[in-house]
Every structure is written in structure tokens, then in C-alpha cells.
Amino acid sequence: MNQLQQLKQASTVVADTGDFLQLARFAPQDATTNPSLILKAVLQPDYAPLLADTVSAHKSASLDDIVDQVLVRFGLEILKVVPGRVSTEVDARLSFDRAATVARARRLIALYEAAGVKRERVLIKIAATWEGIQAARELEADGIFCNLTLLFAFCQAVACADAKVRLISPFVGRIYDWHKKSLGASWDEAARSLSNDPGVQSVTRIYQYYKQHGIATQVMGASFRNTGQITALSGCDLLTISPDLLAKLEASDEPFEPALAADTADHGAPQAAVKYDEAAFRYALNDDAMATEKLAEGIRGFAVDAGKLDKMIEELRQAA
């Protein structure tokens, strides 16, 4: 078996892309999108007509409404290919507004349901700020499943579990990026690879904590830089992987053993149960320089790309 086939025996494989024309090749169970991936897709000639048609059909609606129509249109196309779920992200510019996040999430779900898609096939992606986590708590209580993204710190994972969110996406590659940049010339790539990779270690700690304490929230490793990071987390509940890395896994026959397993008694060193109220959460996040910087950077980056998509839509609407 190639590495992708091996991986599918250990974890649920998810494609991290808005390019739904690539999905069938890799046969993922689910797919995830974000503002940057949608923007990347609509800039391609294959998807430009989809954007133009959607804008034309809703040109009298508000800009926010049209954006949501575009996001859901991509989600609907993805769901024609994957048998499982699609993740659709709430505007990152709402990351610190609980009520607005809840309202936007409900509108996205309503659009999916109006198109005949059951809400169980949709995960609403929300940045794992305190406000985002509390929005997810409210949504989950109403049967709207959430995927908490831009997750870099252990406190974020604990708070998400307390909110009973369906799934979290801890970012492996961006944690790796931060540590590599921080250490500069003293970074030893070989010594900090596989199970010694700081991003892999972060996800492993969260996964083990969840399993030790019987937490139902699923862990989906995300944001990978190389296939070594992926295989070092094989056995994690889910792994969302870009098409280029899926292709590299498909091209390799090198065997590997699953690194994590939910059904074994050994889940690492015992971790005491932790709980965070708002003040404790904010302090713990503030105390983690990497997580603080990467969360802010991630929100800013998604917001910039959301703004670019807004501009494209407005130009198309004016031309329609």
C-alpha cells in the first residue's frame, strides 16, 4: 500500500482545499475550506464562472449574503464528491464577536438546509478565541456542529472540550514555523522532526489528554508542512491535508506504524484534568507567546483574504 492508503487505515483523511475538482482523486472522507483556500480557488479559471454565476444570481443581496452564498456553493460542490462533511468558515473578522458569529453560522446552516443538505454534513469553522468558543457552545447546543480552528494552545483545546464542540483543528505546521523561526540558526531540523516536532508534540498532548479524560471532541491535525508530520500523527481521529501533500503520500510506498491509537490504554504520561474560566483562559493564552502570535496572525491573514474576496464580489456585482 502507498502511504495514503496506510494512513486511511489509521485516521480519517480529510482534504484541505477549495479546489473540489481535485478531490475525487484522493477519495477523502471529508473536506475543509477557509477564506484563503476559497480565494485561491476562485482565482483559477476553472472556478471563475462559479463565482460569477453566484454573484449574478444574488446581486441585489448584501455583500455578506453574497459571500455566504459563494461559500455554500463551494461547499455544495464539495459534498457531491466527499461522502462525509464539509467545513465552512465564519468570517474571521467576527472572531471576537460571539453574537455575530452565532448569527453568521446559523445563516450558513440555513443556506445548506435550503439546498437539501442535512446539517450533520456541515461543520462551521470558527476561530478558537474565547468568543468563538462560546459561540460554538451555543451552536452545538442547538445541533449545529463546529470545527474550532486556529488552535495553537492547550488552553484552547481544553476550553473547546468544555464547550462540547464536535471537532478541533490544532495547527501543526504553523507551530513548527514559529519554533523554527524563533530558534533561527540553532534549529536542528533532523532533531526536531517526527515525534520531536513541536507541532506534532502539541497535537499529541491534546489527543492524549482527550482520550485520558473520555472527551468526545474529535482531534483533527491540520496545517502540515511535510509528510513526516502527517505520519507522526497517524492514528489521530482525523487529519486534514492539502492536495500537494496528499499526492506525496500517494507517491510513497514507505511503510510506517500508526503513532496514536484511541483504543490502547497507554496515552502518555497522565495529565490532570484542567478547566478554564474566561480570565484563566485569557491568561494562559497570553502566557503562550507562540499561540498568541499565531492566533492573531491567522485571524489577520484570513481577514485580509476575506477582504480580497469581498472586493472581487463587489466588482462582479457592479459589472453584472
Q: What is the DSSP string of 17-83?
A: -S-GGGHHHH--SEEE--HHHHHHHHTSTTTHHHHHHHHHHTTTS-HHHHHHHHHHHHHHHHHTT-S
Place of cell 513541536: 198
Please give the Cα distance from 320 to 318 (Å, whole number).
6
Q: Whose grid coordinates read 464580489?
A: 313
Task: Identify whether 125 is a catalytic site residue.
Answer: yes
Cβ–Cβ under 8 Å, residues 316 and 109: no
As a whole number of angstroms, the distance between CA 288 and CA 205 comes to 15
87 neighbors 32 (Cβ within 8 angstroms):
yes
CA distances for 101 relative to 71, 105, 133, 150, 211, angstroms: 15, 6, 10, 15, 29
- Cβ neighbourhood burial of 188 (10 Å; 0-12, 13-18, 19+): exposed
Phi, psi torsion values for 45, nearest 5 degrees: -55, -35
Q: Is 74 in contact with 18 (CB distance < 8 Å)?
A: yes
Which listed residue (8, 125, 211, 294) is catalytic? 125
Residues carrying an active site annotation: 125
